[in-house]
Amino acid sequence: MFNEAIHLDGIKGIDGVIFMRFTASPNVYYQQMGRCFSVNQTQQPIIFDLVNNFSSVSRNKFKKEVEAEFQTDSHDLPWITTDLRFGRASSNKELIGISFFDETREIRELFNSFASEFDNWEIQFKNLSALIQQGQSISHRYTPSAYQFVNRNKYYYRKGLLSTERVQKLLNIGINFTPKPYGQNWNLIKSGADWRIAKSKLNSWVYSQIIKYRQGKLTNEQIAILTNAGVRFDKPACTFDQNLEKFIAYRADLINNPLSDDLRSWIRSQKLSLRRKTLTPDHKSKLDAIGFGQFTENDRQWEISFQKYTNGCIDRSLQNWILKQKKYYDEGILAEWKIIKLKSIGFDFTQTKIASWNEMFEEVKENKDWKKVKKLRLWVTDQARRFRKGELSPEKTSLLNAIGIIFSKTAYRSPYAHKDFNQMIQEYKAFLSDLSEPDMTPELGLWVRNQRSRYRKGKVSNAEKRALDAVGIMNKPVNERGWLARLERYKSGERSREINVWAKLQRKTYRMGRLSEDRMRQLRSIKFKFDAAVEHV
């Protein structure tokens, strides 16, 4: 295959290209296509695109670019004898035409006409029915295939492409085809929520509805709702000078002047015009005068930090910013305009002194409650890390040991970290079967919570899932264990306040018809009276 660096014009008899490898890159596509194009050629090239590459690139743009090149007044373009190409007798500087013929359209339409006979709709429907019967929620995160199947059928239903039989099947398992007239944002707008707050989600959503209005995608009812909320669809666009004034005011006070969506769009369009060199000389000179092209997003963040520093709003993030300015100044990589602005407010470029190891050690030594001081506690933790890595010298280790700070070679591990999954399952089973144990140990409780979290997120293996299902970990068997424990206490004759409240709850649940058959059987086995008053000690 001739791909790059070889031009086929030098090879006699070759005036075409056959595409047999897919590419989504316009550059590669143009290079491969260009092998059969030449300024001095007189033959019409033929290109066979067997892998449909032209659908992945801007083919119309390519055609316009080639035609524009041939229409130039360059003397390098040849005079082509037209009868070599079209059988005409006259000579002229003709263009080599470019056309695209979709020879596979008819066969694609044929396949699409009977594709429904070979689809796996019934299989996907059975899988969906099984998930719904199991009580599984259909979401793009946990059941992506079923979620896509439902959405695809809803789309076909709206387009009138879903058969009545399939619609009825989906309705029978609870799939609702009725579209929601309004979502959460529409309800917020109808309730009078303030959508004018800059950078809020509702504000961005309203602007997206204005764009839909211009595209003719809003209904009359939706337009009326937005109009009642104060949305103006006929807001006149600001001129270039007006937007420029807004930008200058925004640059002057970045903290108190939030960047509106309109101004953000204008800034993006001007930057794009600068890169494409499509700005008028007048507009370009105005933007250059205020340094518009050099003002990047990083510069905007720098200006915000600078204004915070000027206003005296020193927080942790600003402290890091101050250290960076001093470091970049010493390294000579701080921009000149930033240095001028910092010097204008008397910024001190002297590097901040970092406390030495001995100074931090003396602070820890003098402060007996060093664990309550965050700076000292983090320093000691760092020394422990260095000790385990072998980076702490014996002299420093002995000094720390002398004041009672002794490090271990092994980092802290959870009390059950040495136990495997099966051991923890057995401990959990033993706890469920031993009613004399009042509560789980903290270690076992933490393990149970972690397993439930992993189970919900789908991070357990098939073997672990079967083991967890066997003990009913997601059904909260601890609650059942507590009920059985109180049953045994009631059976033994205990009538404490806790047991009396429990007995009253069983009678109430029984009267409401919510007591399970299994629990009623167990209560009747101890001759529990469902219609008696609460017993006292």
Confirm if 30 and 65 have CB atoms less than 8 A apart.
no
Question: Do strands 46-49 and 80-81 pair parallel, antiparallel, or not at all (unpaired)?
Answer: unpaired
The half-sphere exposure of 349 on its side-chain side, counting CA atoms within 13 A, is 15
Rounded distance between C-alpha atoms, residue 411 and residue 127, angstroms: 47
pLDDT score, position 87:
40
pLDDT score, position 101:
64
How far CA 443 is from CA of 427, 435, 474, in Å, comes to: 11, 19, 18
Rounded distance between C-alpha atoms, residue 31 and residue 37, angstroms: 10
Rounded distance between C-alpha atoms, residue 524 and residue 521, angstroms: 5
pLDDT score, position 5:
43
Q: pLDDT tens digits for the chain (537 residues)?
A: 455 445 544 555 567 788 887 776 777 877 777 777 776 666 777 888 777 776 655 555 666 666 666 565 544 444 444 333 334 333 334 545 556 566 666 776 676 666 555 568 888 898 888 888 888 878 877 888 888 899 888 888 878 888 889 889 999 888 887 765 556 788 788 888 878 776 677 888 888 888 788 777 788 888 888 888 888 776 556 778 888 888 888 777 666 666 776 777 788 778 878 887 888 888 888 888 877 766 676 777 788 888 888 877 777 677 788 888 888 888 788 888 788 888 888 888 877 666 678 888 888 888 888 888 878 888 888 888 888 888 888 888 889 888 888 887 665 444 444 567 888 888 888 887 776 666 677 778 888 888 888 888 888 888 888 888 888 777 666 667 778 778 888 888 888 888 888 888 888 888 888 888 888 888 888 888 887 654 544
In 492-533, which ranges are continuous DSSP H helix? 497-511, 517-525
Q: What is the largest CA-CA distance in the chain?
A: 122
Tokens of 109: 């339409």
pTM over 0.85: no
pLDDT score, position 306:
84
Question: Do strands 46-49 and 91-92 pair parallel, antiparallel, or not at all (unpaired)?
Answer: unpaired
Question: Do strands 46-49 and 16-19 pair parallel, antiparallel, or not at all (unpaired)?
Answer: parallel
How far CA 200 is from CA of 187, 189, 222, 258, 333, in Å, comes to: 16, 13, 21, 11, 37
pLDDT score, position 269:
78
> Which one-letter DSSP state was computed for residue 439?
S
